[in-house]
């Protein structure tokens, strides 16, 4: 049995989202490495001179301490750890997508250390891909940035695996036959790939190459990029159970504008 | 004892204020009725007057009583610069600097993807139309340096760049008169990343 008022100190974690609470406080939804996702009440964090005002910022590694036994714990301490530049531009919008997936799919108070590490790795990747068009002086043009897609696919795969929906990618569902790069497959959710029927029945097909690339987290091939994105979108939509992703909607609206 | 319905209605109405729960609403209601009836009259009159006369300036979107606010109507301001801020309080702060002679656009909010506040909710198309009037030469983004403010700045900048407008962002870093010793590490880290030629 848990003690009624446990005190936890020096936990590495990230703020996923904050909600205003009462006149001057905040509830921070955080993802910590050793305690998973938690709701922490930050008392007075919205006061003008609160020390926490600039600290409880998403996408920045923090060292957190809290106490309490209920569903919402009280944040005692939040210290900035550093080492990760702030996300900017497109990478920032992608960062919101990661957070939204965690908020919608990850249950509270369930430690997922490997997922935490995957999240942190994704943020490091996004921060490296982060350029602000405004701070690039004419003498320092933005380098051609690598795509964020491989970062996203790796994270999505890690998320599904940690939630217990690990993907079968290199074997056929049922028969267990090895997936062949040159053949086409249909992916059945919660089961895995089966070889596509030769006649076109309208189902979404993907190549064996894509499945094998995904199994090894390789996303250089354009076809792999397109097909893995479509597959992940379909899988996530299934597990999100009809909940729409706001961050994706905003991203799409920007591309259309 | 039954609470009279007009008192109940007042308490309920006061609760629409941010941070006011049932207890504070009750305290406010009793205070107004018992200790300050003229104050209550003034409050009622000021509220109904503000609600009926105030509207958004058709150019900068801030609150005004006329179609155009005084600032937008003034010939003393430089119409080639447009500063985009989140809220009227930010505009007031910019004005206090006495360092800016251009005009403004007040978004009345910020993008917040996780709260479902997107470009449509912010009505960014109005800001775009304002910036593309042919007179504005430079748009200065002065949204907050929070993730939401930064996302808003990025989004707005992308839209404006696509229309060929010059876009700038206010600088951030160590405060004026600030000493490194007493500045938080996050600010110094970002100031270092965003350092410029000198």
Average pLDDT over residues B82-111: 96
Residue B115 neighbours by CB distance under 10 Å: 13
B64 with B54: CB under 8 angstroms?
yes
Q: Model confidence over A56-76: pLDDT tens digits?
A: 999 999 999 999 988 899 999
Do both A143 and A191 map to the same domain?
yes
CA A219 to chain centre: 17
Q: Model confidence over B142-163: pLDDT tens digits?
A: 999 999 999 999 999 999 998 8
Average pLDDT over residues B43-72: 93
Q: Which residues are CB-contacts of B150 (< 8 A; sequence separation ≥ 6)?
A: A86, A87, A88, A92, B143
- Give percent above pLDDT 70 in chain B: 99
ipTM, two decimals, is 0.84
Burial class (CB in 10 A: 0-12, 13-18, 19+), A12: middle
CB contact under 8 Å between B185 and A24, yes or no, is no
Per-residue pLDDT band for A133 (boundaries 50, 70, 90) equals very low
The gap between the terminal CA atoms of chain B, to the nearest Å, is: 74
Fold of B5-53: Helicase, Ruva Protein; domain 3 (1.10.8)
A247 contacts on B by Cβ (under 8 Å): 113-114
CB contact under 8 Å between B154 and A54, yes or no, is no
Give CA–CA dist B164/B182, Å, rounded.
Answer: 41
Looking at residue A158, its pLDDT comes to 95
Do both A202 and A223 map to the same domain?
yes
CB contact under 8 Å between A134 and B194, yes or no, is no
Residue B34 neighbours by CB distance under 10 Å: 9
Residue A202 pLDDT > 80: no
Query: Helix, strand, or coil here: B98?
Result: coil
Question: Please, what is the angle between helix A222-240 and helix A149-162, to 10°?
Answer: 40
Domain final position from A47, A80, A113: A80
Give me the CATH number covering residue A43.
2.40.50.140
Facing A54 at nearest CB: one of B150, B184, B196: B184
Residue A21 pLDDT > 90: no
Per-residue pLDDT band for A217 (boundaries 50, 70, 90) equals very high
Residue A23 forms part of a structural domain:
yes
Per-residue pLDDT band for A32 (boundaries 50, 70, 90) equals very high
At residue B78's C-alpha, the angle toward residues B73 and B81, to 5°, is 110
- Give percent above pLDDT 90 in chain A: 58
Query: Helix, strand, or coil here: A109?
Result: coil
Residue B175 to chain A, least CA–CA distance (Å) = 14
Do both A102 and A205 map to the same domain?
yes
Looking at residue A5, its pLDDT comes to 64
Residue A191 to chain B, least CA–CA distance (Å) = 31
Residue A238 forms part of a structural domain:
yes
Q: Any idea what DSSP says for residue B107?
A: -
Give CA–CA dist A23/B7, Å, rounded.
Answer: 24
Residue A2 forms part of a structural domain:
no
A100 with A119: CB under 8 angstroms?
no
Q: Which residues are CB-contacts of B109 (< 8 A; sequence separation ≥ 6)?
A: B86, B87, B117, B121, B122
Residue A220 neighbours by CB distance under 10 Å: 9
Residue A162 pLDDT > 70: yes
Per-residue pLDDT band for A140 (boundaries 50, 70, 90) equals very low
Residue B75 pLDDT > 50: yes
Domain count across chain A: 2
A60 with A40: CB under 8 angstroms?
no
Ranking A142-156, A203-217, B66-80, B127-141 by mean pLDDT, the lowest is A142-156
- Work out whether the CA dihedral A33, A35, A38, A40 comes out positive or negative: negative
- Domain positions in chain B are 5-53, 77-197
> For B77-197, CATH number?
3.40.1360.10
Distances (CA, A) of B62 to A144, B38, B69, B153: 39, 30, 8, 19
CB contact under 8 Å between B111 and A250, yes or no, is yes
As a whole number of angstroms, the longest Cα–Cα distance in chain B is 74
Residue A1 forms part of a structural domain:
no
Do both A165 and A243 map to the same domain?
yes
Average pLDDT across chain A, whole number: 87
Looking at residue A52, its pLDDT comes to 83
Looking at residue A146, its pLDDT comes to 66
Beta bridge partners of A75: A66
Domain range spanning residue A18?
Answer: 7-80
Per-residue pLDDT band for A197 (boundaries 50, 70, 90) equals confident
Nearest C-alpha neighbor of B116 from the set A243, A21, A227: A243
Give CA–CA dist A202/B127, Å, rounded.
Answer: 44
Do both A115 and A236 map to the same domain?
yes
Residue A142 pLDDT > 50: no
Residue A257 pLDDT > 90: no
Looking at residue A23, its pLDDT comes to 77
Domain final position from A58, A80, A102: A80
Give me the CATH number covering residue A221.
1.20.1440.120
A55 with A79: CB under 8 angstroms?
yes
Residue B25 pLDDT > 60: yes
Give CA–CA dist B35/B154, Å, rounded.
Answer: 51
Beta bridge partners of A72: A39
Q: Any idea what DSSP says for residue A9?
A: E
Per-residue pLDDT band for B131 (boundaries 50, 70, 90) equals very high
Looking at residue A24, its pLDDT comes to 85
Average pLDDT over residues A138-155: 69
Q: Model confidence over A90-116: pLDDT tens digits?
A: 899 999 999 999 999 999 989 999 999
Facing B189 at nearest CB: one of A82, A132, A253: A82
A23 contacts on B by Cβ (under 8 Å): 18-19
A62 with A78: CB under 8 angstroms?
yes
At residue B107's C-alpha, the angle toward residues A102 and B144, to 5°, is 60
């Amino acid at each position: 049995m848990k003690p009624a008022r446990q005190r936890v100190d020096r936990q590495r974690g990230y703020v996923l989202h904050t909600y205003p609470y009462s006149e001057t406080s905040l509830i921070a939804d955080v993802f910590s490495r050793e305690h998973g996702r938690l709701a922490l009440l930050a008392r007075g964090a919205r006061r003008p001179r609160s020390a926490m005002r600039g600290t409880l910022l998403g996408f920045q590694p923090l060292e957190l301490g809290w106490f309490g036994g209920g569903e919402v714990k009280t944040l005692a301490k939040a210290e900035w750890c550093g080492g990760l530049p702030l996300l900017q531009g497109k990478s920032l919008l992608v960062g919101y997508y990661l957070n939204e997936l965690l908020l919608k799919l990850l249950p509270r108070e369930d430690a997922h250390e490997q997922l935490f590490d995957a999240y942190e790795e994704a943020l490091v990747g996004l921060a490296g891909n982060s350029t602000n068009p405004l701070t690039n002086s004419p003498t320092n043009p933005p380098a051609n940035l690598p795509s964020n897609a491989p970062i996203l696919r790796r994270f999505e795969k890690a998320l599904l695996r940690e939630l217990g929906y690990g993907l079968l990618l290199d074997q056929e569902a049922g028969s267990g036959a090895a997936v062949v790069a040159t053949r086409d497959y249909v992916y059945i959710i919660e089961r895995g790939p089966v070889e596509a029927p030769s006649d076109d029945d309208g189902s979404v097909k993907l190549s064996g190459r894509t499945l094998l690339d995904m199994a090894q987290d390789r996303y250089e091939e354009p076809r792999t990029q397109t097909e893995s994105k479509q597959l992940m979108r379909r899988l996530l939509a299934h597990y999100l159970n009809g909940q729409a992703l706001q961050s994706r909607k905003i991203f799409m609206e920007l591309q259309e504008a | 004892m039954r609470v009279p319905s007009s008192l109940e209605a007042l308490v309920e109405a006061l609760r629409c204020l941010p941070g006011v729960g049932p207890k504070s609403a009750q305290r406010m209601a009793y205070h107004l009725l018992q200790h300050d009836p003229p104050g209550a009259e003034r409050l009622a009159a000021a509220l109904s007057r503000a609600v009926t006369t105030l509207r958004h300036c058709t150019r900068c979107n801030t609150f005004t009583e006329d179609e155009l606010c005084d600032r937008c109507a003034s010939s003393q301001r430089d119409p080639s610069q447009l500063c985009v801020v989140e809220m009227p309080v930010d505009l007031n702060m910019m004005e206090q600097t006495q360092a800016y002679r251009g005009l403004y656009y007040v978004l009345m909010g910020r993008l917040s993807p996780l709260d479902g506040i997107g470009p449509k909710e912010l009505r960014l198309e109005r800001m775009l139309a304002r910036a593309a009037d042919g007179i504005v030469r430079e748009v200065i983004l002065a949204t907050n340096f929070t993730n939401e403010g930064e996302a808003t700045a990025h989004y707005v900048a992308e839209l404006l760049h696509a229309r060929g407008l010059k876009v700038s962002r206010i600088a951030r870093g160590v405060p004026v008169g600030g000493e490194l010793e007493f500045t938080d590490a996050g600010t110094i880290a970002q100031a270092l990343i965003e350092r410029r030629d000198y």
